[in-house]
Amino acid sequence: MGEEGVVGRVEVTQGVGSPLPWARTYAIAGSLSARPGTDPSVRVTDGLVSAASAANRGAGDELCVVENGRFALLPGVNHFVMPFSREVYETLRGWFAEGPADHERPRSAAPPDPRTQ
């Protein structure tokens, strides 16, 4: 948005902010390389976005997609074909079919009840 302030009841800031405590976060990165490895790196790119950026790696990584097993690096898939990639949809289907993982970062808060706000 580029602006700070309050819109309705939501505070708008320039930063990403903390993840919602009840939401699961997923990330898929493509790679121009046929063998990019498995670790998100700034040297691995889909032609537009690095794998490290897609995985939110760096200072202040609160999403923890790699640690929670919700990151996939797809070899040979460039940025512009990702929406049409069979591998992307197979990865999403597998994730969405799973229940919460045993190693998932604990989330304590429940979503707010809109009737009480």
Task: Quick: pLDDT tens for 39-82.
Answer: 899 999 999 999 999 998 877 777 888 988 889 999 999 999 99
Which among 19, 106, 107, 111 has a CA at the least distance from the CA of 62? 19
* % the chain with pLDDT above 90: 38
Q: Given the structure tokens 């970062």, which residue do they identify?
A: 105
The helix/strand count (H/E) of the chain reads as 2, 4
For the chain, what is the radius of gyration of the CA atoms?
A: 17
Rounded to an integer, what distance in angstroms lies between the CA atom of residue 45 and that of residue 82?
13
111 pLDDT band (50/70/90 cuts)?
Answer: low
Q: What is the pLDDT, as a whole number, of residue 32?
A: 94
The predicted model scores a pTM of 0.67
Q: Which residue in 91, 100, 80 sits closest to 24, CA to CA? A: 100
